[in-house]
Structure formats: C-alpha cells, structure tokens
Structure 1
Amino acid sequence: MVTERLRQQDARGELPPDWRRGPAWQEMDGRAARKRRLWTVIGVPVVIALAAVAVRPSLLFGDFFGGVEPGAVSASPLSAETVAPTRAPGPVDHEIPTLDRPFAGSPALRWADGEAGIVAPEATPIGSLSKAQVEQALQQTRKLLIDANLDPATLRGERPETALDVIEPQQTDLLGLLNTALSRPDEEHDPLWMFSRFDPDELRLVGAVVKTRGRMTFTQGKNAAVVVHADYTFVYPLVRVDEGAHEVARTIVRRVLDVELPDPAKYIVTPGKIAVLEYDQEIGNSACDIYDGFLHPQFSTDEAAGATPTGPMMDPYDRSQSIDENREKGCRFVSRT
C-alpha cells in the first residue's frame, strides 16, 4: 500500500525530486544499532605505587584540558597499527607518572598523540560504491571517534554535537538513548557507552595530549553498503583540580565500533550520514557501578569508590584479544595503568 501510494504521488509530482524508491535504512533486515552495555567497568590496578613527586607550581593552574603538554621524555614512536597485534605490549620500566611525564611507566608513551593515531586506510571502490563514497564513510567514522573521545569539550562533559551529527537520523532509538544518557545519565542510559567524559569540577587532563592506538578497516556489507570497523584505545592522564594536587592517574578506554554507509542510489538514507551497527567498550581504572555519566579514575590516596573489583585480572593495554560480548557484568582488576 505504501509503495503504491508513493508511486501515485510520484506520478502526480508530489514528491521531492531527490526521493529514493529503495527501502529506508530501517527496513534493511530490520537492523538497528545493537546497544552493548558497559558490562565490564574496570577497577583500580592491583598494585598502586606511592612516591613523593616534585611539583612545578606552573603546572597546577591553567584551563581544563588545555595548554601545552609538559616536556615529555622522547621515546621512539611505534609504527601505525595495520593488523591486530598478536600479544599484549611488553613490560615497561616501573616509573611513576608525573605532571612532567604523565605517560611514564605506560606502553602508551610510544603511542601516537590524539588525532594522529586515528588514520583512515586508503579508500577504494567497493561493490556499487565509488572510492569517494568509501572515503566519506571512513572520514565520518574518524570524525565520530575524534569528537567522542578526544575533543576537549566532550572530555569535560559538554554535548558531543559533531559525533551526534554524523549518525544517521533514522536511528531514532540510538539517538534517543544517547540524548537521554547525556542529559539524564543512569544505569540504563550511560553516555560512557559511546563517549569519554570527566567531571571538570573534579579532574583535568594533564597537558593537552591523549595517547591513541588502533586501526580502521572496511569491507563490503550486505546492504549495498561499506562497513567500517574501528578498534582504538585511548589513554587519559588526569590530575585532581584541587590546589596543590600532583598525583597523576591514567584511565584507559578501548572502543570498538562498526558503522555502515549504504548506497544512496538503492536505499533511502540521509546523505553524508553513517549508521552505527555495533559499539562496545572496555575501561581501565574507573570506579565501578557509578552512573553519573563520568569516568572516575582511582588515585592511590583515594578511598575506594564504587563497587569492589572482582573477577579475573586484565591488561587494559592488551589489544590482541577481542572484547568478549558474552562477558558477565562485573568489575575486574587491571594489571597496570
């Protein structure tokens, strides 16, 4: 009935010239974004070292998530990740992170800085889609990742407008969930499922750098689409905003994301938008079972917050294993931060 009505409207010239006769995005096998809950919120490290740290007064002030990163010790950067690693990063020197060297003692010291670590592969035509269309899907995916995980406004809890804007508007369930999560977070609506956020009244980023490592690939989808798969880990060095605070804690967030861009010549889609198919995450060093919409790294001088970590230990830097979507809800210790 709907098809016949559209045909008659088209014959009478009642439809806009750019309408498509193919099925709408929602009709593609009835698919929508599958919400993967934050089943594993990772707790504090098994061993937290205490050390006296000399503090430079000039580092205690400044804009939240702003400024220039303090002089970091140079380290040979890793080459870009083009295939899945086969093992976790090796051990590094047991150094305490400081305001001058927030990534000391972390494998992330050799990772890329921020956006430089999110590199899209070279686009090629795939199926009925041109090279330009594939490139558009890759760049929109990159834009979503950057705004959701690296943009200073997003990190301090502001609305990630750019990330939300690239998502297909027909994904009303997903967008509704994310909008609710951003305005009224709770256990069933958690913005941390998609976005990295810290409470600016409690924390600030140390310097201006978030370390990033991962890869992006693409393949042909079954809906005359290109499907982009992204798997990235972000390492955030943080310090309390209290005057005189100098202890640095790191939170590690791994995000896995699958999006698609269908052929607009065959499906009714919104030009330039991507549909989120799946999203998942693992978080290292953030208090468990707190649903205020912010990540809460554990400092050695803090009293334990949230639920007590239980279950097997994990290495948040290990990118060789896929995120287990069948894992039980729980809170685990991490072996390092």
Structure 2
Amino acid sequence: MRESARADVKAMLRSTRRRRIERWLVTSMVLVAIVAVLMLMVGVGMFDRVFAKSEERAADGRGEQMTSLVPAVDFSRPFERTPAAAWADGAAGIETPPPMRIGEFSADEVASAAARVRDTLIASRLDPALLRGHDPSRYLGLLAPDARRQLQPLFGTGREPEAQALVSMIADGSELLPVEPKVKGTMRVAAGGPDELVVHTNYVFAYAFAADPTASPVDPMDFVVVVRADVEYVLRDGPRWTAGSQGLWYGNVGGYGYSISCDAYKKGFLAPAYRDEGLTHTSQKQDRGTYFDPNAALPAESGCPS
C-alpha cells in the first residue's frame, strides 16, 4: 500500500507539473524553485509584483494644488478612502461555506476541513507571531507532516521569497499601525482526487503601515499594502496516503502584491512603497480598485524593476 501511494504521488506530480507550465505560459507569473517536489506541487513564488503610485496627482503639473485639496489622513482609520474601508477586520473576513456532503466526505468532515483552512489562513496572513516575528510554527503545525517538513527550511534561511505566496511577513524596520488588517474574499470546497478535498481560497488582505516619518502622507495608499492570495489547500485522508502525507497540503497558488516595496518583496517580505528610495517603478495599468477585487483577473505584468 505504501509503495502504491508513492507511485500515485509521482503520477500526481507529473500531471501537476504540466498544469503549472501551462498556467505560467498564460499568466506570465514568476516561478521560483524551492525543492523539486515543492516546485512541482505548488509553484510557490508565482506571485507577481504590482506597484501603484500613491496617486497620479502630479501627472498634470498641478501636484501642489491638488495635494492642498486632499484631506489629511486619519491614522486611526487608515483604510478610509480606500476600497477596503468597509471590509471586515482581520479573521472576521474569513468565512467558511455552509457544510454539505462532498463525494466520500460527510458534511461534518467538509466543515472540519474548511475550519482547518480558515485557521491556516489566519495563521499565515494575520497571526502577529508570523507577521511581525517571522515565526511560522502555528502555520506549519496545521499542515501535513510532509508538507511541514518541506516548508520549514524556507523560514529564517534567506529563502523567504519561495514561501511568500503562502504567507505574509513584515519586513524588519517596518511597523504596522495598531489596527487589524482588512480582509475580503471567498472560500469554497470541492471534490479532489480519491481521498481528497480541495478548498479553494481567494482573498485580498490590506495592511496599514506606519507612515514615512520624513513625509506627510495625503493618500492612504502611501502606507497601505495590498496582498492578493489565490491559494488552494488540499486535505488528504485515507489509506492511499502515507501517514506523513495525510493532512493539509497546498495546491495551485497565484496572487500579487500592490503598493509595495519591491526591494522588500523580492526578499520575501512586505513593506510600503515609500521604502523604495531611488527605485523607478512602472505605473499600474489598471484602476486602483481592480487590485482590491478578489474576482479580478491576475495581472500579467510587473511594476517592479527586474
């Protein structure tokens, strides 16, 4: 049975690799090799980087006049005047779908899988221990032993860019404001292969950072960072899987960062765009609101210099 399970995994990896190559050709996303198995199964690092200027307020040569007409930023409500203003705070924005029987899994098992994925999203995107302290223990503890063993070497070793599609970590030297991130998105559960449940998650997380101490921001996007995370989690349970493979895995991954520090992002961390002194970025080609929309198509271009 164990040898059969290993054969099934090898076949799955081959088919997953074909799907990953096809997706890369379509979206021009960036693939980062982690280890052979991790790259084939996940494509971690597929996040594109999209930079947005705070506002096009100087584009028509009236920058000073326009700035004077913009009200001051309220740091107690940093998301005001952004599309995230009315979103739920923190974990309240991550809701599980109504439980129902799916394939061989009972309604209770489906509910349990969705709840575990919710806990995983909270641990990977909202938990201060990981966000600020870069401690992945809670997140990794929710995954299958083999998945945990593959991801562990990516933390604290300089390999953080290979994990950034799955987690959010704040760059050293940057500070979040004392408000919860804003969250919007959806979760749905579907049947996978034999003894598998696939939980599709598609969320946008908005983080409010302390403002640039050398400037007076007039636009909240001077210090708000947006992360889109379109991630599949796969629950594997049953005799076809070895003990180390049973539990929660990661599947297809996509997403982007918006209004970010490109330098920090390339190192696997989040920081506001003002941290990139001296860098030239490409202006966004879509309306600002598009990057806050979890249903929008993933952009194929990057605004960060290569």
Q: TM-score, normalised by structure 2?
A: 0.73
Matched, 1:231 2:235: no
Q: Deviations over 1:242-297 (max 9, x none)?
A: 6x987461001110111111342443345872111112221111122543332121
Contact 2:190–2:199 (CA under 8 A) maintained in structure 1: yes
Matched, 1:156 2:164: no
1:195 pairs, out of 148, 163, 167, with 167
1:166 pairs, out of 142, 162, 177, with 142
Contact 2:52–2:283 (CA under 8 A) maintained in structure 1: no
1:212 partner amino acid: V
The alignment partner of 1:230 has SS state of strand
2:233 pairs, out of 259, 280, 299, with 259
Aligned position for 1:282:
256
2:42 pairs, out of 34, 37, 49, with 34
CA distance in 1, matches of 2:94, 2:132: 21
Aligned position for 2:175:
204
Contact 2:90–2:182 (CA under 8 A) maintained in structure 1: yes
Contact 2:202–2:229 (CA under 8 A) maintained in structure 1: yes
Moved more, 305-314 or 189-198: 305-314
1:232 partner amino acid: Y
Contact 1:126–1:220 (CA under 8 A) maintained in structure 2: yes
CA distance in 1, matches of 2:147, 2:181: 30
Matched, 1:128 2:110: no
Contact 1:258–1:276 (CA under 8 A) maintained in structure 2: yes
Give the CA deviation at 1:311. Answer: 6.6
Structure with the higher fraction of residues in helix conformation: 2
Give the CA deviation at 1:306. Answer: 4.4
CA distance in 2, matches of 1:179, 1:103: 34
2:120 pairs, out of 130, 135, 144, with 144
CA pair 48-163 structure 1, distance change in 2 beyond 3 A: farther
CA pair 126-322 structure 1, distance change in 2 beyond 3 A: same
Give the CA deviation at 1:190. Answer: 3.6
Larger radius of gyration: 1
Aligned position for 1:250:
224
Aligned Cα root-mean-square deviation (Å): 3.3
CA distance in 2, matches of 1:228, 1:303: 36
Give the CA deviation at 1:28. Answer: 5.8
The alignment partner of 1:282 has SS state of strand
Structure 2 residue runs without a partner (length 5+) = 17-39, 58-62, 65-69
1:316 partner amino acid: Y
CA distance in 1, matches of 2:291, 2:72: 17
2:89 pairs, out of 102, 109, 113, with 113
CA pair 103-37 structure 1, distance change in 2 beyond 3 A: same
Aligned position for 1:23:
5
CA pair 154-180 structure 1, distance change in 2 beyond 3 A: same
- 1:87-106 equivalences under 5 Å are 96-106=72-82
Aligned position for 2:281:
308
CA distance in 1, matches of 2:83, 2:233: 29
Give the CA deviation at 1:222. Answer: 2.2
Matched, 1:216 2:190: no
CA pair 307-171 structure 1, distance change in 2 beyond 3 A: farther
Contact 1:224–1:262 (CA under 8 A) maintained in structure 2: yes
CA distance in 2, matches of 1:305, 1:138: 44
The percentage of aligned residue pairs carrying the same residue is 23
Contact 1:217–1:228 (CA under 8 A) maintained in structure 2: yes
Structure 1 residue runs without a partner (length 5+) = 4-19, 52-93
CA distance in 2, matches of 1:245, 1:46: 13
